[in-house]
Structure 1
Amino acid sequence: MSRGTGFAGPQAGGPLGGQGVTRSARPWGPYMREFHHARLRRAPLSPCRQALRLRGGLMRYPPLTPVYCALFLLMGAGMSANFASKAYRASETLDWETGSAQILSSGVKPASDRQDDCYEPIATYSYKVQGRHFTGQNVRASDSCLSRSESEQFQAAFKKGDTVAVYYDPGYPSEAVLEPGKLSFNDWIQGIAGLVITVSALLMGIEVLRKR
């Protein structure tokens, strides 16, 4: 027998049936694993692990998950529908008649009820259609939320006293815009965000229904 902590050879009549115990066997291993598992059982679950707990090898979602999916689906669909409506109205102005208008006043104002980087364009202009005088205030087909750079470009393009192109509806000449077919950068962000939220909520809802 060697003087080390293990045995150099087999021991007759031992519990291992003649097989020697080496240092790599580590008989305390099962106890360490049990201690580690006990710590894991006592450790608090993170919010993500609480939302998606493993049970029987399958994901178990909280009971209100379908409600959350439905709410996000409605929110995303509403954002996408709003963007689609703005895009449709903007596309219609591309077919309107063109005339000349004089800028009476113009500027931008911060939108107090929206995010900080949001400015509403303001303009008043006069134009004539078939001898009739009209005054317009629409810059685009729908309300726009301009970024800081877009607001600076707008103020540089439409100054008081300038003569600019105006686009009016031939059937209703009182309806006119200065920038046809345009959507602001924030409108595009809203449209993309609505699409992402809608698709994500739809896929999550399908996954939840599959595992119920």
Structure 2
Amino acid sequence: MRLLWGFIHVLCALLAAVGTVFLVVGLKEVWRASRTRRWPTAPGKVISTEELQHLRKVPSEEGGGTRLLYEALVHYEYTVGRVLIGSTRVRVSPTATGSEARSQAVLARYPPGQELRVFYNPGDPTESVLEPGAHPLDFLRAGVGGALLFMAVAAQFVVRWFSARL
């Protein structure tokens, strides 16, 4: 019986470690994305748009095979000082999605020729985004990490409760 409880404790520790890593990385991404709201802006113009399709392998644990992802690329140029810079980054987080409709919605917001405000990193003006701030999907990794960490802690309490009654 002690071996079983020991195994459960090790399993909970691993779950807590993975959850902590996901939580820290997720919060770091959210912080990085939210920081873009304070970046200065520069005038820009959409040059062209396109939708890329990627085939991604799905791990065998998730059923295997491949999955089609859609990515909206918005080619735009902006000027910082006297330097013309080009980019395709819409936001800090990746824009690849399994929904063609979401990808098309991004492309519809940025028709070629449209004048816009580009948010750029003052420390590295070549880093820019069109949609600053954290978006709902940016919180996903942090949420998964928090959930894993909660499950690990809750499982420890359940194990202690059961072991006290045996």
- TM-score, with structure 1 as normaliser: 0.60
- The answer to whether residue 9 in structure 2 is matched with residue 66 in structure 1 is yes
CA distance in 2, matches of 1:161, 1:191: 37
Change (3 A) 1:84 1:111: farther
The residue correspondences of 1:75-154 to structure 2 (distance < 5 A) are 75-113=18-56, 116=67, 118-146=69-97, 148=99, 149-154=101-106
Aligned to 2:119, what secondary structure does the other structure show?
strand
Equivalent residues of 1:89, 1:142 under 8 A apart? no
Identity %: 25
CA distance in 1, matches of 2:140, 2:125: 32
- The answer to whether residue 117 in structure 2 is matched with residue 165 in structure 1 is yes
Unaligned runs of 5+ in 2: 59-66
In structure 1, give the amino acid aligned to 2:120.
Y
Change (3 A) 1:146 1:188: farther
Unaligned runs of 5+ in 1: 1-54
RMSD: 2.9
Question: Greater helix percent: which structure?
Answer: 2
Deviation at 1:200, TM superposition (A): 0.8
Equivalent residues of 1:146, 1:184 under 8 A apart? no
- The answer to whether residue 107 in structure 2 is matched with residue 155 in structure 1 is yes
CA distance in 2, matches of 1:78, 1:120: 27
Question: Greater strand percent: which structure?
Answer: 2
- TM-score, with structure 2 as normaliser: 0.74
User: Bigger radius of gyration, 1 or 2?
Assistant: 1
- The answer to whether residue 135 in structure 2 is matched with residue 192 in structure 1 is no
Moved over 6 A (4+): none
CA distance in 2, matches of 1:95, 1:74: 33
Relative contact order higher in (CA < 8 Å, ≥ 6 apart): 2
Give the count of matched residue pairs: 154
Change (3 A) 1:157 1:90: same
Provide, for residues 128-172 of structure 1, a one-character-per-residue CA deviation record: whole Å limited to 9, x for no partner: 112211112222123344452432320111223322221112332
- The answer to whether residue 121 in structure 2 is matched with residue 178 in structure 1 is no
Where does residue 205 of structure 1 map in the other structure? 156
Provide, for residues 25-60 of structure 1, a one-character-per-residue CA deviation record: whole Å limited to 9, x for no partner: xxxxxxxxxxxxxxxxxxxxxxxxxxxxxx8xxxx9
